[in-house]
Amino acid sequence: MTMKFMTLARHIIEQEKLHPGATGELSKLLHDLSLAAKVISLEVNKAGLADILGFTGDNNVHGEKVKKLDIFAHDMLIRAMDHGGHLAIMASEEEEDIIHIPDHYKTGKYVLLFDPLDGSSNIDVNISIGTIFAIYRRISNAGPGTLEDCLQPGDKQIAAGYIVYGSSTILVYTAGHGVHGFTLDPSFGEFILSHENIQIPKKGKIYSINEGNYKYWHPGLKKYIKYLQEEDKETERPYSSRYIGSMVADIHRNLLYGGIFMYPADSRSPRGKLRLVYECNPMSFIVEAAGGKSSDGKTRILDLVPENLHQRTPIFIGSADDVTMVEEFLAKEEVLNEIQHS
């Protein structure tokens, strides 16, 4: 069967019709986000050319400061999103505090949290990176939004998505009715539906973790990884190890093929590395909407109540059976530990 030939813009409108009484504000917001994504994608594709095209040191040919790509993406998102009248407040992984809507623009009912360019240590080596966003309804009354608007548990998201800048640029989003992917056609600048209603396999054959940190892991995690490496035809082991080191790209692959991505707490980083509100919540919302699971090892990520904007959390995310299994390995080891110390 040939796939529907449909643009993202059209898809957003179709999705809106599934919500009787929708005002169209969310659709416009998603549309504005896709515009920022196109500009960031263009800039990411030029990343290696900066020096060749005559940009010197910190200044470009016009004598302007050359922005680092993650700052460029941050600024572009704000420019695309601050004037639409849909947002009450924003927050970005690149900025310490909440970002207010300028006084001369209208505020709206939504809250936008984003990581403008995730995996940024991969930019200079031409490896996939991504943008992640989460959308909530404001909980404050009218007027400027507040920090509390931004610190809602992930379960309260009404939409989330990511853009992965890889061999092509793909935008994946959910607004509560399935997870859908769109590939950017660079020749006519439109995101075209390429992955309709993505469902993550219940169990995968891929694990993604930075094994360089093995020494610092929880003993239960060490045992789980060893288990995945053992041979057993029935449970399709050993698993393959795939780690790009770019959360969006690693999770995008696992979403399509099945598997588990892990960034655990360890003895050096007791709270893990990845950010709850900018990275883990939106990715967990998407993976759950595709039938997967996401946990900090014990608790569902989407149930965690953020205490501050830049808080970190351990994360185990992907195919539901795989996430349940790592939770079991971690719990078993906790019990053994308690028995030994009692």
Q: From the centroid of its chain, how far is CA 217? A: 24
Please identify which residue in 77, 88, 91, 274 interacts with ligand FDP, judged by CB under 6 A. Answer: 274
Q: Which range of residues in 36-44, 98-106, 117-125, 298-306 is near ligand FDP by CB under 6 A?
A: 117-125
CB neighbour class for 269 (10 Å; exposed up to 12, middle 13-18, buried from 19): middle
d(CA 305, CA 190): 37
CB 217 within 8 A of CB 264: yes
d(CA 90, CA 39): 19
Backbone angles phi and psi of 219, in degrees to 5? -55, -35
The site map against ligand FDP for 228-267 (x = CB under 6 A) is -----------------xxx--------------------
Nearer to ligand FDP, 169 or 246 (CB): 246
Please identify which residue in 16, 32, 94, 118 interacts with ligand FDP, judged by CB under 6 A. Answer: 118
d(CA 30, CA 109): 14
- What is the helix, strand, coil percentage profile of the chain, to 5? 35, 25, 40
Q: Which range of residues in 33-41, 98-106, 273-281, 332-340 is near ligand FDP by CB under 6 A?
A: 273-281
Nearer to ligand FDP, 12 or 160 (CB): 160
Nearer to ligand FDP, 8 or 262 (CB): 262
Structure tokens at 264: 């655990």
Taking the complex as a whole, the smallest distance from the CB of residue 169 to ligand FDP amounts, in Å, to 17
Q: Please tell me whether residue 295 binds ligand FDP under the rule CB under 6 A.
A: no
β-partners of residue 261 are 208, 317
The site map against ligand FDP for 154-193 (x = CB under 6 A) is ----------------------------------------
Nearer to ligand FDP, 32 or 266 (CB): 266
Neighbours of 36 (CB within 10 A): 22
Q: What is the DSSP letter of 171?
A: E
Q: Given the structure tokens 């927050």, which residue do they identify?
A: 91
The site map against ligand FDP for 77-116 (x = CB under 6 A) is ----------------------------------------
Nearer to ligand FDP, 119 or 292 (CB): 119
Residues that bind ligand FDP (CB under 6 A): 118-122, 210, 245-247, 273-274, 279
